[in-house]
Structure 1
Amino acid sequence: MKVRLILALGAVVISALAWIFTFGCQPKLPGPDAVALWNVIGVKSQYKKWGQWPDHKGMQPGKSPHGPFHIIYVNGKGLSSDRVPLPYGTVVVKENYTAEKKLSSITVMYKIRGFNPKNNDWFWAKYSPEGKVETAGKVASCIQCHSARKDNDYVMVHELKR
């Protein structure tokens, strides 16, 4: 009986620590500032270490305007929910590749409370492969395309539960 209790408590402690290291150690995200966002996700937290949606792992076929191939990474906040709407603080990073599988750009969706309520509060950014901001904010072309999936919180490649 005592051994079972110790094993059960050990499992609880290990689970709690795993949760803390996966979701609790996320860096503090900035407001709607593309340069500051890149400094957190591109430099400090190295988004390539984030997870991926279970139904969209690795390099996948893509389409315009993102390119023929892409890889998507999602931070812990976004992966912690499988329901619409995704929580504030969710960051989705899409690496866009050429037909030759060369990185051409990096596009980001970042959910910021109160940023753009009309469009589910998504902040959009496009970076060069080196992290230079090419466009950011309430990007009309991003909103127009992704609004086709407004019922899925503007997420195109992964089905969320309603």
Structure 2
Amino acid sequence: MKKRILTGSLMLAMIFSISSLTMAGDMPGPDGDALWHYISKVSPYTGWDYWPDHKGMQEGRAPHAPLHKVFVNKQALESTSAPLKFGAIEVKENYSPSHELKAITVMYKIKGYNPKDGDWFWVKYSASGKTLKSGKPGGCIGCHATRVANDYVLVHEFK
């Protein structure tokens, strides 16, 4: 009886270990289409939370639309100081003054992707999720680099 319990416990431990490895392995690489699939199907960003100091619809500025909402995943929220944890994702929905979704912009922290610029992978999507620009866009990096000490994050202040 003890042997069966021990064997069953070991099997459960192995299953949980394998599933957690699989879940960690489900994060996409630096690919706009794969990231869109992840944030729209695997882990829908609209179910994520906001930064505690930047909730709901907010006023924005160029080059983004005049209104936005910023969603962040668990890895980002668990980052209590800069730099953020690898796997952190920030998704910004960019809205017109009439609250029409115009574009979706994303920052995704990938270990080893671009160490010179904080390891961020950047993507701009159409409102329907078509990848418009991705990788290391100079405009994104240049603007966000004004906040290197805050790990390139503009809308949330790490203390």
Q: 1:27–1:40: 8 Å Cα contact kept in structure 2?
A: no
Aligned to 2:95: 97
Aligned to 2:7: none
- d(CA) in 2 for partners of 1:27 and 1:45? 13
Aligned to 1:142: 140
Which amino acid in 2 is paired with 1:155? V
Q: 1:108–1:125: 8 Å Cα contact kept in structure 2?
A: yes
Aligned to 2:125: 127
Structure 2: unaligned runs, 5 residues or longer? 1-22
Q: Equivalent of 1:113, from 103, 111, 114?
A: 111
**Residues 53-101 of structure 1: CA distance to partner in whole angstroms, max 9, x if unpaired?**
1110000000001110000000001101220100000000000001111
Aligned to 1:37: 35
Aligned to 2:14: none
Which amino acid in 1 is paired with 2:110? I
Cα distance, 1:26 vs. partner? 7.5
- Among all aligned residue pairs of Structure 1 and Structure 2, give the percentage whose two residues are the same amino acid: 53
Aligned to 2:13: none
Structure 1: unaligned runs, 5 residues or longer? 1-24
Aligned to 1:82: 80
Aligned residues: 137
Aligned to 1:11: none
How large is the RMSD of aligned CA atoms in angstroms? 1.3
Say yes or no: does 1:48 pair with 2:40.
no
Runs of 4+, deviation exceeding 3 Å: none
Which amino acid in 2 is paired with 1:140? G
Larger radius of gyration: 2
Q: Equivalent of 2:63, from 65, 76, 95?
A: 65
Which amino acid in 1 is paired with 2:73? N
Which amino acid in 1 is paired with 2:93? E
Which amino acid in 1 is paired with 2:55? K
